[in-house]
Structure 1
Amino acid sequence: MNSFKVHEDINLYITKDKFYLESKSSSAVLIIDRISELLSIQNDTKSIPTSCTWKVIYGLLGSVPLLAGSYLIVATGREHVGHIAGHSIWRLTNFELIPYLRSTLHLNQQQLEDNQAYVTMVEQVLNTPNFYFSYTYDLSHTMQRLHETDPTFLNQSLLERADQRFIWNKYLLSSFYDPVYHKFCLPLIHGFVSINICTINAASFSWSIISRRSIYRAGTRWFKRGIDKNANVGNFVETEQIVEYEGDRYSFVQLRGSVPLFWGQTPNLLYKPPIQITEEDQELAKQVCAKHLESLTLMYGKVVLIDLIDHKGMEEKLQLDFENTVKSLNFSSVHYEPFDFHKECRHMRWDRLSILVDRVANDQDEMGYFLLMRDGSLASLQEGVFRTNCIDCLDRTNVVQSILARRSLINVLKKLGVLQPLQTTEDYPNFEYLFKQVWADNADYISIQYSGTGALKTDFTRTGKRTRVGMLYDGINSLTRYYKNNFSDGFRQDAIDLFLGNCKVKYPLKVERGWRYVTMPSVLLVAFAMFVACATLPSEHSSESLLFLLFWGCMVATTSAAILRHGTEFVDVPRLTTST
């Protein structure tokens, strides 16, 4: 892993014509022309002007073309998270966008406003928690994939050998495609990383969680559901649990991802918009689903599909279509396991999740886990993976993943001699508390990245039981999700697509709204104000005042109904046309 190292500390020198990125650990200098954007490498520092502004940065994140020209993006803040396999892991805490062009005189007022909107989009994505990186460790790959690589793999740069599914600044770094520049390029993963030093039975070991979000079909809750024609699904996340103990290394990988069919939910001001399943080309949907599952089996081995969506109500049709599609494909390496989460666990009977665990126990034992012993011998490989989904692949999904992770963790800790044969992690309150908190944090951050709020049902993950206080917090999060998903996610989806290179900047960015957008809310506001005034101001209600009260009440009801009927005209929708 040490044959290629990204430059860790860099001095950035800025002149009116060029950017100079000087490595502190070598004599290499990356020179970027601010006018032509041409790149060059020199191996001495004499080319750097003595009089110029400069600052310390921690890596080059890329560049992005906007209306005002290109912007250089650099890491200016970092936080040390811990070590994995002896390599330092960092979290991005600050960044800076620096324009190539020093003037914006070539832009008119509207272009200036739109350019600032695009800058805000890039900043919003980078401010979404959390981005992680390492200068020496490939965070995009699991331990098992890294172990199975050939020697030539280690001679490549971190950017070249990375799993492209999980490099979020892949597009931003496309201008630096030549490997000669890669020692300055800092690949980022997005998701969650937690590294912890734990002690059980006087044995000290490192326990870590890494969640990697895919860049393909990435986006927000309502706008990225289901699968696309390239077999990519919404909210696809690979989560790896790692243990390191006296040179032994263990890894257990799970997946989450949207139901791999053509379906979606269009925001329309309803709390739960109806699920829309594309019926026009079921054969194509079947082919794309097959492609998705085949890609998973090629990469992970056997795939156990744990489907947690409801078997009745709004989710019933989607569940049946998913089950029928998988059965019709009849892949020997794919096992479909439906579990009606809400029905089985109603009335806060969360202990009934053991039913699901018992049903997939044999699958988990067969797929195993990756275990590399301290002497270099390979004790076992993970030969399969759980792919868990609910509707959002957030709340229910994380609860089940944490339970399966605990089961695997207990098995390996017993094998390594950390736990005795009859012990479990629950016998150690301090570790059990840590385990629950980390998995709940994983749920929260993945949920924030997709839905805009923390996860629901984390009180069970944190405490092992469902509480009324937890249900209250779930209600608050649900209302917050409702607002963000309806009134701010269009901009957020545009930001993600711009950041990932799925669309290009356009001018003008503003979209004209229909007459209802201003008129109906204004009428509703006036009607509601008059209704309140008629209800509260008269000391005594006469027939005339009651008639006014009835009139304005009817106006409130009628206008509200009209707004809901035309709900799609009032929500925030993406304005940029994606290229995928």
Structure 2
Amino acid sequence: MQFLEGYYIILITKRRRVAVIGYHTLYKIEDTTMIYIPHESVRITHPDESRYVKMFQSIDLASNFYFSYSYDLTHNLQHNLTDPKQFVARDLFMQPDNSASVEINDSTKLFTESVVSKNKFNESESSQYFGIRTYPHKKFVWNLHLLNEALKTDLHPNWILFITHGFISQSNINVFGRPLYLTLIARRSNKYAGTRFLKRGSNFQGDVANEVETEQIVHDFRMSSFNNSHFTSFVQMRGSIPGHWKQEMGKMVAKPAIIIDFFDPFCETAGAHFNDLLKRYGSPIVILNLVKKRERKPQESMLSDQFNTAIKYLNQFLPVEHQIVYKTFDMARKNKSNSNVMEQLAGIAKNVVSKVGIFHNQPTYFTQKPNTIIGRGDKQFCTRQTGIVRTNCVDCLDRTNTAQFAIGKCALGYQLCALGVLDTPNLEFDTDCVRMLESLYEDHGDTLALQYGGSQLVHRIKTYRKTAPWTSQGNDIMQTLSRYYSNTFSDAEKQNAINLFLGLFKPNENRPQIWEYATDYYFHHVPNPFNSRPLTQWWEMGVFKCLPYAYNDVTKACFELIQVHSNDVEMIDGFVDYYRPNEFNMLMDTFALKLSSTVDFMPICTVNYSPFAVRTRPDKRREEILLKGNAIKNPSVTGQSSTSSAASSTSSSDADSSDDEETMNSDGSPDTMSKASASELITFKSLFPSTEEVYGFKITRPSKEDILTYKKHVLMGKRAKGTALRLFPSNRSIKPLSNFSSDDAYKVKPPTVCEKSKAIYQNYVNLGIHGPKNPSKTDMEIYRKYASFKH
């Protein structure tokens, strides 16, 4: 990086493993250092250099920046597992994801099937393994500007490390010892990136503010090989409403007025945005709009109407099967009217997930039901996800995160069905698995809200589930104040730092400095060049020919084939990187044992160890006891407030003074406190229910027979101990069966294994490689006798 003096080099000094995908390890940056390269004797000082350095360092690289040596974090799993379709010359300045569309013909597909798919990790008799180098998706590379000097030279690709920004977390769904790793990856776009109120809408190229791609991966970790493992994934995204609008922060108000900069009669900006989505994900594009639809003073509803009009206009020029699906859900009004928001979101989620499907790379099991496998199948994979679910409110913060959790919960059910764990894709809320998923999405939402909102989430998933404790209102107020302070006082400096980090502004002595500009509008809004396509053709022809599949998947390119495990090539070995056989480590320090698991969410006194078993929470049981007839729950007990919290933001306000409807219950009655409920006394039994009500068993005093049986076992143990001392005195050594002749920390000589044990293990290995063999005649005869006996 260079400002007004010489170059600096930014080094990653500490890293932390946060996730594994197959053998590939994903790291989070923990610490960096910035070193000035020229010697101090030749340094020419500049008065503004220190201010630029301080501004650049305000982007905390130790906060939610991730990388991997062997896995492409800038693309989703489906794209990474797709075979490349063409070879191109190595040019890292080339941007295949933003380049003009090429014609798709049969020769391109034949080239892939005949050449590349046979060379990518080809397990032939000669044991030659090949990998490929592909281009990253530059929209999610945050250090692209910092690599410019490296990309200008003929530097070896091993030295080029792409950094992504967002959120990554991984947990283990422990199904009776079977490890299923659930990974949540959020990639934040570097296009039109910035803070909450300073970046709204979209630029002329169709890049929207606050765009984040969220990928939910579930894979069976019993086999850690990347190519042969059982993977499922689902991708969704969030982003601002594509259009030219803003909110001015000049006045000291919590909710600045929404202003339309100018109207786009031919919807060119929205067309450019959805053309990019078709190129990356295919069709259909499903939009879930959570913006308010009815207000006394039109604000959010004005944006919603404009968005709806743009979708109707763009759909005129697409075939019916590829048209954009538009769904609206006034989440704030539904929550205020005491409706079951999560139940309604679950219905919407099931509908939209079934439209786009999930990615599943392995063949289905014979016993799986057809309606549990969703997605578009092809020759390479069982199913592909074609299309994307795009969720937005105004800020893409609180409401958006809750809706994405509901969609992710629905997708998780289908993913577990594809892995053969569940028979039906239905997951109940009060299960260990869903509670773990809720925790992941809470952390996901908090991280993204801190990045472009200045505080954590104000209204959480528990708020919309009506399970948030009343004590959380104080925290909500503090989060709202923190967000308001950040938006008013510190966002301008933070926006300048982002523009500097991404290279949108390059310091120059002969030009005004970045803090002297009144606005950064022209840093992000570059006028579009002359477009030769007619206005009615907002999509590119090459993109259109690939539908419903993604153009980026169909035209995937690689620029180098690499022989893996070759002595001539230095590269990262995923097996060695994960297991570290050359290091002496403690077993408890391994990543698999430190990983969060559904066992952590399991009650202590339980007899059902399934992560999909419904756990009845004590507070829920207490709510059921207090709730008689149509009486409303006591807010001091259930944790709900009878009045709306004042801690709200533009994104997540449940109560809005501009609403023109009286707050109503789900049955249509006014929201008034029932006298019977208010006067009902709270008993000790209701506050502390018995174990039989909560866990399903009752603690009783043991019977006399059980006590006598226990005493017999104690006496037998004492007598056995005395007999053992008489038979084996202390001066007599007892040799165990597994005796090692030499055993220390450096060398061990294992005992000899008999041929019978070797044959059993070899049959076990062959079963995993080649599958089960046909049963022998003796086994078939035994089965016939058994079947005839049963009939």
Same fold (TM over 0.5): yes
The residue number in structure 2 matching 1:67 is 4
Equivalent residue for 1:173, pick from 147, 151, 159: 147
Are 1:130 and 1:190, in contact at CA under 8 Å, matched by a contact in 2?
yes
Equivalent residue for 2:351, pick from 343, 350, 362: 362
Equivalent residue for 1:143, pick from 77, 80, 89: 77
Residue 297 of structure 1 and its aligned partner are, at CA, apart by 1.8
- Aligned residue for 2:25, secondary structure, equals strand
User: Per-residue CA shift, 1:108-162, capped at 9, x if unaligned?
Assistant: 6xx43x2122112222223462000000000111111112241767997999611
CA–CA distance in structure 2, aligned partners of residues 318 and 579 of structure 1: 21
Matching residue's letter, 2:204 = K
CA 1:442–1:121 in structure 2 vs 1: closer, same or farther (change >3 Å)?
same
The 5-angstrom pairing of residues 68-83 of structure 1 reads: 68-83=5-20
CA–CA distance in structure 2, aligned partners of residues 404 and 579 of structure 1: 32
The 5-angstrom pairing of residues 221-236 of structure 1 reads: 221-236=196-211
The residue number in structure 2 matching 1:294 is 275
Are 2:29 and 2:61, in contact at CA under 8 Å, matched by a contact in 1?
no
Residue 459 of structure 1 and its aligned partner are, at CA, apart by 5.1
CA 1:327–1:152 in structure 2 vs 1: closer, same or farther (change >3 Å)?
closer
Are 1:457 and 1:470, in contact at CA under 8 Å, matched by a contact in 2?
no
Matching residue's letter, 1:390 = C
Are 2:292 and 2:304, in contact at CA under 8 Å, matched by a contact in 1?
yes
CA 1:337–1:96 in structure 2 vs 1: closer, same or farther (change >3 Å)?
same
CA–CA distance in structure 1, aligned partners of residues 292 and 398 of structure 2: 14
Report whether the alignment pairs 1:344 with 2:346: no
Are 1:439 and 1:461, in contact at CA under 8 Å, matched by a contact in 2?
no
Residue 420 of structure 1 and its aligned partner are, at CA, apart by 4.2
Equivalent residue for 1:238, pick from 209, 213, 216: 213
Report whether the alignment pairs 1:578 with 2:523: yes
CA–CA distance in structure 1, aligned partners of residues 514 and 277 of structure 2: 40
Equivalent residue for 1:118, pick from 39, 44, 52: 52
CA–CA distance in structure 2, aligned partners of residues 275 and 436 of structure 1: 32
Q: Would you say how many aligned residue pairs link Structure 1 and Structure 2?
A: 451
CA 1:510–1:417 in structure 2 vs 1: closer, same or farther (change >3 Å)?
closer
CA–CA distance in structure 2, aligned partners of residues 425 and 153 of structure 1: 47
Are 1:200 and 1:428, in contact at CA under 8 Å, matched by a contact in 2?
no
CA 1:152–1:575 in structure 2 vs 1: closer, same or farther (change >3 Å)?
closer
CA 1:116–1:159 in structure 2 vs 1: closer, same or farther (change >3 Å)?
farther
The 5-angstrom pairing of residues 254-403 of structure 1 reads: 254-268=236-250, 269-279=252-262, 281-283=263-265, 286-300=267-281, 301-311=283-293, 312=295, 313=297, 314-330=299-315, 331=318, 332=320, 333-346=323-336, 349=339, 351-359=340-348, 361-373=350-362, 378-403=381-406
Matching residue's letter, 1:388 = T
The residue number in structure 2 matching 1:457 is 459
CA 1:128–1:450 in structure 2 vs 1: closer, same or farther (change >3 Å)?
farther
Report whether the alignment pairs 1:404 with 2:446: no
CA 1:408–1:174 in structure 2 vs 1: closer, same or farther (change >3 Å)?
same
Residue 504 of structure 1 and its aligned partner are, at CA, apart by 1.4
- Aligned residue for 1:191, secondary structure, equals strand
User: Per-residue CA shift, 1:502-551, capped at 9, x if unaligned?
Assistant: 11125674868xxxxxxxxxxxxxxxxxxxxxxxxxxxxxxxxxxxxxxx
- Aligned residue for 1:199, secondary structure, equals strand
Residue 179 of structure 1 and its aligned partner are, at CA, apart by 5.1
Matching residue's letter, 1:478 = T
- State the percentage of identical aligned residues: 30
Report whether the alignment pairs 1:84 with 2:21: yes
CA 1:344–1:471 in structure 2 vs 1: closer, same or farther (change >3 Å)?
same
Residue 445 of structure 1 and its aligned partner are, at CA, apart by 0.5
Instruction: Report 1 or 2 for greater relative contact order, CA contacts < 8 Å, sequence distance ≥ 6.
Output: 2
CA–CA distance in structure 2, aligned partners of residues 462 and 436 of structure 1: 12
Matching residue's letter, 1:366 = K
CA–CA distance in structure 2, aligned partners of residues 427 and 459 of structure 1: 13
CA–CA distance in structure 2, aligned partners of residues 422 and 383 of structure 1: 20
Matching residue's letter, 2:392 = N
Matching residue's letter, 1:90 = Y
Are 2:195 and 2:452, in contact at CA under 8 Å, matched by a contact in 1?
yes
The 5-angstrom pairing of residues 185-224 of structure 1 reads: 185-224=160-199
Residue 427 of structure 1 and its aligned partner are, at CA, apart by 6.0
User: Per-residue CA shift, 1:425-465, capped at 9, x if unaligned?
Assistant: 64642x33321111100001111111121122225289873
Residue 106 of structure 1 and its aligned partner are, at CA, apart by 5.9
- Aligned residue for 2:58, secondary structure, equals helix
Residue 308 of structure 1 and its aligned partner are, at CA, apart by 0.6
Are 2:391 and 2:400, in contact at CA under 8 Å, matched by a contact in 1?
yes
CA–CA distance in structure 1, aligned partners of residues 12 and 239 of structure 2: 30
Are 1:410 and 1:425, in contact at CA under 8 Å, matched by a contact in 2?
no
Are 1:402 and 1:439, in contact at CA under 8 Å, matched by a contact in 2?
yes
**Between 197-206 and 239-248, the greater mean CA deviation after superposition:** 197-206
User: Per-residue CA shift, 1:266-302, capped at 9, x if unaligned?
Assistant: 21222111101123x4226x11101111221232121
Residue 400 of structure 1 and its aligned partner are, at CA, apart by 0.4
Gaps of 5+ in 2: 93-131, 223-228, 365-378, 526-791
CA 1:117–1:575 in structure 2 vs 1: closer, same or farther (change >3 Å)?
farther
**Between 210-219 and 300-309, the greater mean CA deviation after superposition:** 300-309
| TM-score normalized by the length of structure 1 | 0.72
CA–CA distance in structure 2, aligned partners of residues 462 and 408 of structure 1: 20
Residue 185 of structure 1 and its aligned partner are, at CA, apart by 2.1
CA 1:454–1:360 in structure 2 vs 1: closer, same or farther (change >3 Å)?
closer
Residue 86 of structure 1 and its aligned partner are, at CA, apart by 1.6
Matching residue's letter, 1:87 = H
CA–CA distance in structure 2, aligned partners of residues 494 and 574 of structure 1: 10
The residue number in structure 1 matching 2:540 is none
CA–CA distance in structure 1, aligned partners of residues 23 and 199 of structure 2: 37
CA 1:459–1:358 in structure 2 vs 1: closer, same or farther (change >3 Å)?
closer
Matching residue's letter, 2:453 = S
The residue number in structure 1 matching 2:99 is none
The 5-angstrom pairing of residues 465-480 of structure 1 reads: 465-480=467-482
Report whether the alignment pairs 1:415 with 2:418: yes
Note the aligned Cα RMSD (angstroms). Answer: 2.8
Residue 469 of structure 1 and its aligned partner are, at CA, apart by 3.0
CA–CA distance in structure 1, aligned partners of residues 311 and 342 of structure 2: 23
Residue 573 of structure 1 and its aligned partner are, at CA, apart by 6.9
- Aligned residue for 1:125, secondary structure, equals coil
Bigger CA radius of gyration: 2
Gaps of 5+ in 1: 1-63, 513-571
Report whether the alignment pairs 1:486 with 2:461: no
CA–CA distance in structure 2, aligned partners of residues 141 and 212 of structure 1: 9
- Aligned residue for 1:337, secondary structure, equals strand
CA 1:477–1:338 in structure 2 vs 1: closer, same or farther (change >3 Å)?
same
CA 1:511–1:494 in structure 2 vs 1: closer, same or farther (change >3 Å)?
closer
CA–CA distance in structure 2, aligned partners of residues 277 and 185 of structure 1: 42
CA 1:126–1:326 in structure 2 vs 1: closer, same or farther (change >3 Å)?
same
